[in-house]
Structures are given as structure tokens and as C-alpha cells.
Amino acid sequence: MIRNKRFFVLLAIFVSMTIIMGGCNMGAKESMVSEKYPEKPITVIVPYVAGGGSDMIARILEKSAQKHLGQPLVVVNMPGGGATIGMNELAAAKPDGYTIGVVATSVILQPLYGQTRYHYPTALEPLVNVVSSPAVVVTLAEKPWKNLSELVSYAKQHPGEIKIGHSGLGTSVHITEEMFAKEAGITIKQVPFRGESEVLAALLGGHVQLMGAYNVAPLKEHVKSGTIRILGVAEENRLTLPGFENVPTFKEQGINVAFNFWNGIAAPKGMPAAEKARLTAGLREMINDPEFKKNMEELGMSVQYLGPEEFSERWIADNIKLTKIVKETGIAELIASQKN
């Protein structure tokens, strides 16, 4: 009996030591993984065409990746389907930290417009927010309205006469324009184009009287030459970008609209904690690098770094807000009718 007791005591001690040693080995293994990551280049999916704002973010991050991550970034453009082609590829990728993507507010918007292969807000994992881009309303300098108040007065006297161009149905800018029209109580005709360069050409050619945009860089020279005038910015505060500091906000002009859109970096859901911590730490250093901020400013984009937790909170808050806006403005029904 005593021998049996001794045997079980020794067995219990052996099992306990095995578990403890196993746990230590596992911790050492996890530590080794996080220390080695990344061991190869990281693919960055951009679900938009080359040359756009999202693409430029990836290209400029690419320049400092070796310095801050020890491995290069490989940028792959996958445009189409309102960004769903690239986001589908990102959501389906292995969550090992070697495939990430540049995402915009469309990650929230697309599932609101109909069935998508993945529900992106839950299939993807927010890593860092990079830039924030409020929409602006632009007109030709020769037009009679000098501010939003004068524009609203004119639109009320000439309902349906004014056309405003934007970069596509259901885009961030389209939503801002619908919010503006609803809040101001005016009727303006929405005219979709395939991109902001086409909208600007239509404005300069007199085919539309207004333009909605969230990338102000292409507007800079036209503002400087006096060809166009920016009537307002849909932001809580005025822009700090050089050359745009004097543009009044919508709220300053009595229009209660303030909503900016963003670009950030996301990964497939389920990325290991150690790799995620290493990757987000490297991205934080890259985004807060003075050279990166300078490059973004030259492109007309304001850097607004948010870490994983803050960025995740923003996804949740914007999902609630945009769901409400899309329903109230009737954009979802409009897009559904276009698809049918």
C-alpha cells in the first residue's frame, strides 16, 4: 500500500514537471516565433487601382518597411467590384502576418449595400489607422455662390438645377453629399463618375456645377490659380494642410455635417498575438516617421495614427453611424435598384 502511494506521488510529480516544462518550451517556442517574424516579404493588397490614395499609402510605407520591419512590403493592386475583389482576397488569406491590406471606409459600406462573400468588418482585423480624409465641396470660381449659405439659397430657388459630381454610387464622398443635401433641405442631382480625376475634368468643363472630393491634393494648383473655390469641409475643425487652412467647415456655415473617412491597414482575422504585436509596432514607427507624414501631407492627406484597439473602436462606431446614414439617405435602395 505504501509502495503504491509512493508510486502515485512520484507519478504526480513527474506529470506536473512535464506540464511545467512543456509550458516553458511552448513559451520559448512562441517567443522564438515572435522574434523571427517576419522572415520573408509581406504582401500588401490594395483593392484599388495604382496611383490612387490607398495605393500611394502602400507605396510610401513600402519605402521604410525594411528599416522598421526588417523585411520589404510587396504591393499588389486588386481593383474592382467596389474594392470587394481585393478585400475578398485579403479575407481569404492565411492569417499568418504575411498578407495584409490597405482598407478604406468601404470595408464597412459594401456589406450595407447587399450580399458580399465575406462580412468584412468581422472577417478582417483592424491593425492601424493611417490617414483621415474629410470631404470637401468644390465649385468653379466664376459661379455666383461664394460659400455654402449662398449655394443653399440658390439651390432652394432653383430645385434640381445644380449637379454635383462624385467618384461613384455609395462611395464615401457620395454619402457626404447626400448628408449635406438632406441637412440643408435642398435637391441636387448626383452624378457618379469612375474616379475623382473624371469628376474634376467634368467640373472644369462645366458639365457639373459642384464636385465632392476627399483628396485635396489635385485641387491645390487650381485653387492657387483661382480657377476653383472650395466652399466647405465636412470636418469638426478646419484643415491644417498648407493652402487649405482658410476653408470653413460645414458646421461654421450652419450645416450640421461632420464626418471624415479613413484609410488603414487590416489583416485576415485570427492573426497570432505575437506576430500582430510585432507588425503593429513596426507600422506605428513607419506611420509616425516624419518623412512619411511629410509625404502624406504633400498628397493632401492628414496622418491620423490609431493603434489596433482604437482603430477597432472606430470600426464599430462608424459601422453604427453609416448603417443609419445609408438607411436614412436611401443610398442602399438606390444601389440595389441599379444592380437590378
Q: Residue 305: which region, alpha, beta or left (left: phi > 0; alpha: psi -120 to 50)?
A: beta
Of 167 and 7, the one with more pLDDT: 167
Is residue 260 within 8 A of residue 134, CB to CB? The reply is: yes
Per-residue cell: 292: 512619411
pLDDT beyond 50 at 125: yes
- Could you tell me the pLDDT band of residue 2, with boundaries at 50, 70 and 90? very low
Q: Which residues of 92-121 are buried (b: 16+ CB within 10 A; e: fewer)?
A: ebebebbbbbbbbbbbbbbbbbeebebebb
DSSP per-residue codes, 212-233: EES--GGGHHHHHHTSEEEEEE
Query: Which of 68-72, 157-161, 257-261: highest mean pLDDT?
Result: 68-72
Residue pointed to by grid coordinates 486588386: 78
Comparing 60-74, 137-151, 322-336, which segment has the lowest mean pLDDT?
322-336
Single-letter amino acid code for the residue at 270: G
Across the range 46-61, mean pLDDT stands at 90
Residue 169 DSSP class = T
Residue pointed to by grid coordinates 468588418: 121
pLDDT beyond 60 at 19: no
Packing angle between helix 331-339 and helix 172-184, nearest 10 degrees? 130
Across the range 25-53, mean pLDDT stands at 74
pLDDT in tens, 290-340: 999 999 988 878 899 999 999 999 999 999 989 988 888 888 887 777 665
Is residue 214 within 8 A of residue 261, CB to CB? The reply is: yes
Q: What is the pLDDT of residue 334?
A: 79
Per-residue cell: 250: 460645414
Residues in the chain: 340
Q: Side by side, which strands form the sheet with 189-192?
A: 189-192, 163-166, 210-213, 136-140, 228-233
**Mean pLDDT for the chain overall:** 87
Residue pointed to by grid coordinates 510529480: 13
Q: What is the CB-side half-sphere exposure of residue 265 using CA atoms within 13 A?
A: 31
Compute the Cα dihedral for 176, 180, 186, 188 and give only its sign: negative
> Rounded to whole angstroms, what are the CA distances from 196 to 200, 202, 204, 211, 216?
6, 10, 12, 9, 10
Is 5 exposed, middle or buried, given 0-12, 13-18 or 19+ CB atoms closer than 10 A? Answer: exposed
Helix, strand, or coil here: 165? Answer: strand
Across the range 144-160, mean pLDDT stands at 94
Q: What is the pLDDT of residue 210?
A: 96
> Rounded to whole angstroms, what are the CA distances from 92 to 49, 59, 100, 269, 319?
20, 23, 11, 9, 22
pLDDT beyond 80 at 234: yes
Q: What is the pLDDT of residue 34?
A: 54
Q: What is the pLDDT of residue 128?
A: 98
Across the range 8-13, mean pLDDT stands at 45
- Rounded Cα distance, 232 and 229, in Å: 9
pLDDT in tens, 22-38: 444 444 334 444 568 99
* Domains located in the chain, CATH noted: 42-133+261-335 (3.40.190.150), 137-258 (3.40.190.10)
Q: What is the pLDDT of residue 226?
A: 93
